[in-house]
Structures are given as C-alpha cells and as structure tokens.
C-alpha cells in the first residue's frame, strides 16, 4: 500500500529545465515522481509546456502533463441570484480562466482532486535600487501569479468535495527561508517568497473547512549558490545554525516533508510554515 494510493494530485512549478538540450528534473518533478511511486496519479503543469512534457516522459507511469496559460488576465461577468434563504446576491461567472479550465478538465477525467502542490519560482539577484519595473513584474509573474491562479481555481472544487465526499484536501506551498530571513541583494524576490507565507496563513483560515494548507520554507538548495548566515558563537552556544546546515540541501531532503504535508497523515497540521534548511536559520525560530 502506498501513501498516495487512489489520490489525484496536481504538482505545479519547478518541474525541471533544459540544459544543453538535455532535460534536468527539478524539485517539482522529483516530488511528482515520488507521489507516483507511492501509488498516486499526478497531473503536472509549469509555465512552459515543453518542460511539462519532458518531465512527464522522465517520470512515466501515472502522470499526465497539462498546459496552462498563467499570465492571461481572467475575464468574468456577474450574475444576480437569490440564495436558499431568499437573499439577493451576485456571483462571478468566469468567461476566461485557464487555470480553472485545467482544474475542471482534471476533475472530469479523474473525478476529483486531492492534493495541490505549488513550487513556482524564478530567481534574480538585484539590489532594490537597481530593480526596475520589468524585473519586478517578471519576478511577480513567475512566482506569485501561477500560485494565485491555481489556489483560486481549486477553491470551489475542494469545498464541494468536502460537502459531497467528506474528504479534506491537502495544499502545500513551497517557498524559501529568504521569505522569513530576507535577502539584501535580492529584496524583491525575497519579498515575493515572503508573500507565500502570508498566503499560506490566510488560506489556512479561509480553506480550513475543506483543506489543510501548509508551506515548506527551504534553505538554499545546493544547485543554487546562495550564501546563508554565518555562525555566531556567544559563550558556548551556537546562535545561528547547526552542523547539519553544512550539508548540501538537496531535493531529496526537501521532498519527504512535502510528501508528509500532502498526505492524510497531515490532517492535524494547518497553517504551518515548516522550515527544511538543516538548521541554518535556527535563530529565526526563537
């Protein structure tokens, strides 16, 4: 029996990248592969469909690649209606919402959606006074917009499943410890990573009737050369990090926590930002 037997999961973002015409699987791809290995059916999506297709080919098994335009403005109309208590209300009727269409397609094919994992990110290091509007928009679009669109698209579906099937969905948002600690040389990027933390806390409240919403704050991954805080010793106590933080932070060290939070074992965990950083930022947790 696998931890994700019978589960339909959607993993979005950081599926991998092409390097010299060869595809290298990313953290999102590794997470998707592990879910398939543990019995789940995985739908995957990224900002570029060629990346999504390449990742699906590497994973194999019960995985399906989806294409979605996360950067098109949604359009809608409003409709007046009378609710079951006789109150006059209005509701939104979406006319163009690519992420919602994708969720609808997934549910039509598989009957439900149990898990959503988001891991969208593009890093650019610039001082705040050197960050122009083009870079600001790029970092926002690549980091925030896809996550926002997916969370917005799944809300009603997960709520309906709770009412009709009695299930609790699982949402896991991957972010960076820089969202907690800040990063002077990449302030805008760190700010968008921090926004994922606020989003997690807020949606844990809003979605709490039908889904667990948690986040994993990663330390700098070994494939990305980024310096963390230096150790500072006061007396006999190490106040910043631990010896484990000297080990490289790999996809394999981050994935187990993501899988835990995406599984039914996490039913008692909600609104938490769990650090997976080898103890690099212990000082922040005090």
For residue range 214-233, list pLDDT tens digits in order. 999 988 876 655 555 555 55
244 pLDDT higher than 80: no
3-class secondary structure, 125? coil
CB 187 within 8 A of CB 229: no
Q: What confidence tens digit (pLDDT) does each residue in 6-33 have? A: 999 999 999 999 988 899 999 999 999 9
Asked if residue 210 is part of any domain, the answer here is yes
Range of the domain at 48: 8-285
What values do phi and psi take at 20, rounded to 5? 55, 50
Residue 120 belongs to some domain of the structure: yes
Instruction: Give the pLDDT band (50/70/90) at residue 237.
Output: very low
pLDDT at residue 285 in the model = 60
CATH number at residue 25: 3.40.50.720
**Model confidence band, residue 54 (pLDDT cutoffs 50, 70, 90):** very high
The answer to whether residue 281 scores a pLDDT higher than 80 is no
Looking at residue 205, its pLDDT comes to: 96
Contact predicate 184/125, CB 8 Å: no
Please state the pTM of the whole predicted model: 0.90
E-strand ranges in 97-240 read 115-118, 169-176, 211-218, 233-234, 237-238
For all residues of the chain together, what is the average pLDDT? 88
Does residue 1 form part of some domain? no
CA–CA dist 179, 170 (Å, integer): 22
2 part of a folded domain: no
According to DSSP, residue 73 is labeled P
> Has residue 77 got a pLDDT over 60?
yes
Q: Percent of the chain, pLDDT > 90?
A: 65
Helix residue spans in 166-263 (DSSP H): 178-181, 187-206, 251-262
DSSP strands (E only) in 27-96: 41-45, 63-65, 75-82, 88-96
Mean pLDDT score, 57-84: 90
Instruction: Please state which of the ranges 160-169, 232-241, 250-259 shows the lowest mean pLDDT.
Output: 232-241
Higher pLDDT, 183 or 230: 183
Q: Is residue 236 part of a domain?
A: yes
Residue 235 has pLDDT above 60, yes or no: no
Per 3-state DSSP, the chain is made up of helix, strand and coil in percentages (nearest 5) of 40, 25, 35
What local confidence, expressed as pLDDT, does residue 10 receive? 98
Confidence of residue 236 (pLDDT cuts 50, 70, 90): very low
Q: Which position has the higher pLDDT, 284 or 71?
A: 71
**What pLDDT is attached to residue 153?**
94
Q: What is the pLDDT of residue 81?
A: 86
Rounded mean pLDDT of 53-77?
92
Could you give the number of structural domains in the chain?
Answer: 1
Asked, for residue 186, whether it belongs to a domain, the answer is yes
**Residue 177: pLDDT above 80?**
yes
Q: Is the pLDDT of residue 238 over 50?
A: no
Q: Which residue has the tokens 């990248």?
A: 17
Mean pLDDT of 104-128: 94
Query: Is residue 248 a part of any domain in this protein?
Result: yes
């Amino acid at each position: 029996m696998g931890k994700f037997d019978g589960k339909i999961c959607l993993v979005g973002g950081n599926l991998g990248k092409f390097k010299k015409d060869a595809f290298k699987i990313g953290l999102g791809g590794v997470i998707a592969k592990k879910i398939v290995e543990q019995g789940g059916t995985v739908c995957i999506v990224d900002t570029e469909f060629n990346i999504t297709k390449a990742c699906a080919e590497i994973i194999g098994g019960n995985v399906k690649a989806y294409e979605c335009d996360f950067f098109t403005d949604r359009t809608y109309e409003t409709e007046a209606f009378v609710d079951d208590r006789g109150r006059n209300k209005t509701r939104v009727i979406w006319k163009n919402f690519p992420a919602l269409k994708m969720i609808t397609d997934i549910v039509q094919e598989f009957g439900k959606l149990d898990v959503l994992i988001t891991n969208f990110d593009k890093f650019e290091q610039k001082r705040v006074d050197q960050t122009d509007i083009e870079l600001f928009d790029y970092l926002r679009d690549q980091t925030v917009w896809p996550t926002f669109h997916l969370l917005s698209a799944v809300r009603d579906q997960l709520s309906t499943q709770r009412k009709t099937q009695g299930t609790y969905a699982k949402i896991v948002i991957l972010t960076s410890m820089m969202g907690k600690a800040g990063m002077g040389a990449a302030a805008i990027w760190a700010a968008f990573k921090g926004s994922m933390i606020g989003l997690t806390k807020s949606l844990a409240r809003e979605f709490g009737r039908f889904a667990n919403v948690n986040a994993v704050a990663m330390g700098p991954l070994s494939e990305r050369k980024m310096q963390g805080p230096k150790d500072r010793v006061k007396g006999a106590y190490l106040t910043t990090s631990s010896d484990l933080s000297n080990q490289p932070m790999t996809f394999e060290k981050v994935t187990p926590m993501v899988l835990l939070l995406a599984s039914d074992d996490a039913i008692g965990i909600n609104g938490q930002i769990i650090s997976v950083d080898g103890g690099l930022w212990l000082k922040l947790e005090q």
